[in-house]
Chains A and B, each alone.
Chain A
């Protein structure tokens, strides 16, 4: 009843159409209104790289390249529903798609020419339902010669395509336009050009030009953007006041702006700023490009994205900027505002506020650039260069710092900047050295830099020792570096840059070590914390690191309080004293033994929170330290109070508010999981509720539902969601809520609920690209697969859907180990069920790296993982995984399975110990398990040479197996169960034990079972031949020649049948034939009634097969000769005709064997001599 009421409620609130964009709820509105960088909106989703997006006219469809492994193809995405489809049938590589003015798409196609063709096609319209353009609809530009490479298409107009044509040698290229109707070609630019773009029907062509080494030496840039005015014919090189180089130029629809990506820094530290580094999107009015020549240092463009998000491939639609970024695990296409992620409405004051509250130097650089561009005239001044130098040194972007140093930062204070340049160059060189290695060239370069430092004119405020110490450190000469640092005279005016270099080197030399090193580090901090010229932010920064470094070497609160007290005595600035007070109070609190003492210590902290509410930098450092201390001590209760205070003392208009809010929500979620772990469901549900009301994220919704249901508070749960709906705090995500409740209710396996949950999860709009949605959806599809599968038969549609959803959950949860662990577990289980054990092992092994929440969870995981490992032919690893299960979680099935894997791996001794224990303790029960365990145990004993014991176990196994009945494959059982199989194996093993009579009896019983089980045994024919041979051998040894002959004849008859299937060569056929012939030679009387010609015919077939081998093999030659000689011997004995077996030795086969393998030839010769 309540459920129905809830459904009605959901229906009421979700009645509006969500086919496009769901209506924004209150939580989303609050998040949107926060004063923070505009977040990039992810468009494409998937584990593969997806990039180079463009929007088709009308704005509904995105076209982009998807690269999976080495294969690239073009895909379309309906932006209103997220539905995607391939543009082309997937039979050839294609990329570089660009939308034309009439909706057609031009692209580079590799179907007809490996060097690429320029083609175009009209794409299918949404909804796609899997539609692609057809092959015969694709049109490609004609090419006169096939050796030139064609790429980078762009639309010059609706009927003219442009592209790059590169000669075979790659040295020269042309940007060409070609009329689609007439084929008329015009060369627009020539040289080492690429990456062209222009608006269809537009005036400006933009492209990249390789300036060459000579030009690079002059301007410092090898790659530059050229803007060509097609009306006037004038070309202009765009010169920017930026380090690094530019790429992917494009133009806005109104041709007002040039957009491009720029690689500022060597972010991957390979000593080259290139496409592998983090890209940033910039823009600049086109008219400024043509004025750039007036500015000697180049123009300052507007930075639109942060280095941290690494973006490229800009394309500008009317209302959005489509870019490709790589900060969430893979390359994906994103939306950003056309004027960048720094909100347009921000005034100068707000940007200054954002600079203060930045969480990374990369963001601070973005804000400083926004400030300079929007409010400081948009030109690069000396002060700007100096500040950029400072920021890039802090961000450790050495190449960029060197650029700013040389651009104007060094216009004054030249001796100091010469020293700084030596330091930066040394760092740049050091970064290029492999870890732990220093090349001779590097040592020589550092020696050169040392000379340059020594030559700098000594004067007031010049501290050469500091720079020489850094150079020694880069060489790994710690002693010399320490000695030099000790000699630095810190009296007089000190530059903040020198303080930073002092701090960096002191930490490199001393941090993380106790004793004298820690004392030396304290000494350095004493200098830094009492430096008079530093601003408050810097002082607090060094004090913060002092506390952090003290924490890392002195874990005990008492010790840390003592060290802080010592530092306090040096009389540092007031804000540092407040930070110390807060640290000591938080340490006293975490080490307090009773609640009263904790409350008292927290009272001191609260007072400090209140007193510092107006001092931003103190407050931030203080909160951060307290959060670190409380998190480490798991002070759950007070952690929440701190996060709440942080939020309370931050006003919503402050850019800090968004961070404080995020910290609060993050803290709520962390605390929810902490309480969940302790089984404190009520507290967990409170914190999940707090988190969801702040974020509306699906993970919090899931946790809240789970916690409520665990407490049996379904009615409260529904009431709360009713309330959240009424207050419009949750709208579209109610579909997720309902789906999750259905999934929880589905414990009894109600298919309707599962189907309904899938329907709701598929319909979600707001959280469509949430990892949590894909996890739940993947689970639901996996469950469908399990429920509909029978034996090895399963519905591949559910496999595909479950696999895709779970892989997307894994991909999207790149920063969320909780969701990733679950997605991997499900992927492992899914692939294990469909017998794809290689993949299952891959997913399970990844899952293992995340750890487990309990011993029982680990045991369950190991059971599943071990099974796939064993199937993937790694039974030794399977046994070892099961061996890692904690003692208290080792139920009988774990042990039994471990013994089985050990036996499979040939670890018989260990397997024996487990089977022996389990059976003697009667932990294995039931006829099936007793039959199987005794069979496996008997096998193990046999392998250990304990024949009598093995025989007993095998007989027991057979006794139990007689009671068993066959079972058909089902949902739970992969293959039919056939007790006959156990008997066949059992009798086979039994035949290796006991007296000859016992063995004969076992072999006959095995043969009897085999005759009844034609479809059960893979090598049915071979098994029977082998048994007849084995019986014949025993009978022969017992002197029963006639009985042996009977078995030999049957073996030969079956082998003839087997040979007719085309298998006349092989160990079994050879042995059977040779045994038969040898026995006939030895006992000709027993065979005198046999049809010798029929036997000869069979042997001749074998010999013919040997002769037909294209490659000679001495072993086959030997078999060939032996059969020939034995046949000759048998004919002579039975038909009483003369025999000349020795003649075969002189045949070509004999001659070859004699030459290649004299030892084998000798064996054959001996046989022939015996038969002569």
Chain B
């Protein structure tokens, strides 16, 4: 009890200097309230969704579009268009 009073006193005295004593103020938007009032609550389901959706590894797509780098591995080039290309070889 004494400790709590001390904290209050401390906050009161130093209030002008210390923002830390100020209560945090949150503006709760209308959608949050609306959801709280009228949307169903499925805590286990939502927690499962979050758990499965947070990814610590790559999404294991079985196939991905060939990257530029990978594509170039399978590039086949034309030969020289110079009539006598040995000149520059």
Contact = CB atoms under 8 A, between A and B. Distances in A.
Interface stretch (A5-13, A265-273, A927-935): A927-935
Given A792-B26, A816-B67, A853 B38 contact: no
B55 A893 contact: no
B36 to A, nearest CB: 6
B57 A386 contact: no
Number of chain A interface residues as a range: 35 or more
Interface in A508-538: 534-538
A659 B79 contact: no
A576 to B, nearest CB: 13
B57 A822 contact: yes
A818 B40 contact: no
A75 interface: no
Interface stretch (A335-343, A358-366, A716-724, A1136-1144): A358-366
A903 B59 CA distance: 34
A1107 interface: no
B24 interface: yes
Contacts of A368: 88
A703 B67 contact: no
Nearest to A815: B67
Contacts of B53: 825, 829, 860-861, 864
Nearest to A394: B78
Given A386-B82, A822-B59, A817 B41 contact: no
Interface centre among B28, B59, B74 (most CB of A within 10 A): B59
B56 A779 contact: yes
B58 to A, nearest CB: 4
A537 B38 contact: no
Contacts of A541: 76-79
Given A792-B26, A985-B38, A826 B79 contact: no
A699 B58 contact: yes
Q: Which of A364, A740, A818, A825 has the most CB of B within 10 A?
A: A818
A384 B85 CA distance: 10
A851 B61 contact: yes
A359 B68 CA distance: 11
Given A822-B58, A853-B60, A977 B36 contact: yes
Interface string A910-941: 00000000000000101011001101100100
Given A383-B87, A863-B49, A359 B60 contact: no
Nearest to B55: A822
Contacts, number: 232
B1 interface: no
Interface in B30-62: 30-43, 45-47, 49-50, 52-62
B5 interface: no
Given A815-B68, A929-B41, A702 B54 contact: no
Contacts of B75: 359-360
A414 to B, nearest CB: 15
Given A383-B87, A776-B57, A870-B31, A929 B40 contact: yes
Interface string A784-809: 00100001110000000000000000
Interface of A: 352, 355, 358-361, 364, 368, 371-372, 383-384, 386-387, 389-391, 393-394, 495-497, 500, 534-538, 540-541, 544, 620-621, 624, 627-628, 659, 662-663, 666, 670, 673-674, 676-678, 699, 702-703, 706, 740, 743, 772, 775-776, 779-780, 782-783, 786, 791-793, 815-819, 821-823, 825-826, 829, 835, 850-851, 853, 857, 860-861, 863-864, 870-871, 873, 891-893, 896-897, 900, 903-904, 924, 926, 928-929, 932-933, 935-936, 939, 972, 974-975, 977, 981-982, 985, 1018
Given A821-B61, A936-B39, 20 more contacts: A361-B77, A364-B77, A389-B81, A496-B80, A535-B79, A537-B78, A541-B79, A663-B74, A776-B57, A786-B50, A818-B59, A819-B59, A821-B58, A825-B53, A851-B61, A853-B59, A857-B52, A893-B40, A893-B46, A972-B43
15 contacts: A358-B77, A360-B77, A387-B85, A394-B77, A394-B78, A495-B81, A624-B74, A670-B63, A775-B55, A783-B54, A791-B26, A822-B55, A863-B49, A871-B32, A893-B40
Interface of B: 24, 26, 28-43, 45-47, 49-50, 52-65, 67-70, 72-83, 85, 87-89
